[in-house]
Amino acid sequence: MHPMPVSRPEPGLGSAALGAEEEALVLDVLRRRELFRYYGNDPQHPPRMAAELEKEAVALFGTRFALAVTSGTAALEVALAAAGIGPGDEVIVPAWSWISCFTSVVRCGARPVLAEVDASLCIDAGEIARLQTRQTRAVLVVHYQGAAADMDRIMEESASRNLLVIEDGAEAPGATHRGRRLGSIGDIGIYSFQHNKPMTAGEGGLIVTRHPHLYERAVRMHDLGQYRALHARVCPPAWSSFAGGQYRMSELTAAVALAQLRKLDRIRDHCRALKARIAPRIGALPHLQLRPLSDPAGDFGFELYFYAETAAAAAELRRRLDARGVWCQQRTGTYPHYRRDYVISGMAAHPSLSPFRELSPWPAPGYRPEDFPRTEDLTSRFVALPLGWHYTKADADHIAASVEAAHAELFGA
Ligand X SMILES: Cc1ncc(COP(=O)(O)O)c(C=O)c1O
- From candidates 101, 117, 278, 279, binder to ligand X by CB under 6 A: 101
Q: Are strands 335-336 and 111-115 parallel, antiparallel or unpaired?
A: unpaired
* Cβ-based nearer residue to ligand X, 128 or 249: 249
Stretch that binds ligand X, among 68-76, 278-286, 373-381, 405-413 (CB under 6 A): 68-76
Residue 254 near ligand X by CB under 6 A:
no
| Nearest-approach distance from CB 176 to ligand X, in angstroms | 17
What is the distance, to the nearest Å, from the Cα of residue 410 to the centroid of all Cα atoms in its chain?
A: 34
| Nearest-approach distance from CB 195 to ligand X, in angstroms | 8
Total interface residues for ligand X by CB under 6 A: 14
* Cβ-based nearer residue to ligand X, 205 or 355: 205
Amino acid at 359: L
| Nearest-approach distance from CB 155 to ligand X, in angstroms | 19
| Nearest-approach distance from CB 347 to ligand X, in angstroms | 20
Stretch that binds ligand X, among 69-77, 106-114, 321-329, 337-345 (CB under 6 A): 69-77
Question: Helices 251-283 and 49-61 sit at what angle, rounded to 10 degrees?
Answer: 30
Stretch that binds ligand X, among 32-40, 65-73, 153-161, 366-374 (CB under 6 A): 65-73
Q: How far apart are the first and last CA of the chain?
A: 20
- From candidates 15, 71, 184, 402, binder to ligand X by CB under 6 A: 71
**Cα–Cα distances in Å, from 101 out to 30, 95, 146, 206, 292?**
34, 9, 16, 15, 23
Contact indicator for 377, 305 with CB cutoff of 8 Å: no
**Where is 384: in which H helix or E strand?**
strand 382-386
| Nearest-approach distance from CB 74 to ligand X, in angstroms | 7
Which of 137, 131, 133 has the alpha carbon at shortest distance from 94? 131
| Nearest-approach distance from CB 97 to ligand X, in angstroms | 6
* Residue of this chain nearest to ligand X (CB atom): 72
| Nearest-approach distance from CB 199 to ligand X, in angstroms | 11
- The footprint of ligand X on residues 298-357 (CB under 6 A) is none
- From candidates 15, 63, 73, 158, binder to ligand X by CB under 6 A: 73
Contact letters (x/-) for ligand X, 165-204, by CB under 6 A?
---x-xx--------------------x-x----------
| Nearest-approach distance from CB 43 to ligand X, in angstroms | 32
Stretch that binds ligand X, among 96-104, 276-284, 360-368, 402-410 (CB under 6 A): 96-104
* Cβ-based nearer residue to ligand X, 105 or 308: 105
Residue 253 near ligand X by CB under 6 A:
no
Give the span between the Cα atoms of 13 and 200, in whole angstroms: 8
Cis peptide before 365 (omega within 30 of 0): no
Amino acid at 41: N
DSSP lists the bridge partners of residue 91 as: 112, 138
Residue 100 near ligand X by CB under 6 A:
yes
Question: What is the Rg, in whole angstroms, of the alpha carbon atoms belonging to the chain?
Answer: 22
Residue 120 near ligand X by CB under 6 A:
no
* Cβ-based nearer residue to ligand X, 98 or 305: 98
Q: What is the DSSP string of 45-85?
A: S---HHHHHHHHHHHHHT-SEEEEES-HHHHHHHHHHHTT-
* Cβ-based nearer residue to ligand X, 160 or 329: 329
Cis peptide before 94 (omega within 30 of 0): no
Sheet strands (E) in 73-215: 90-94, 96-97, 111-115, 136-142, 164-168, 176-177, 180-181, 188-192, 205-209
| Nearest-approach distance from CB 369 to ligand X, in angstroms | 21
Alpha-carbon torsion, ordered 199, 202, 205, 206, to 10 deg: -40
Alpha-carbon torsion, ordered 110, 116, 121, 123, to 10 deg: -50
* Cβ-based nearer residue to ligand X, 17 or 282: 17
Contact residues for ligand X, defined by CB under 6 A: 71-73, 97-98, 100-101, 142, 168, 170-171, 192, 194, 205
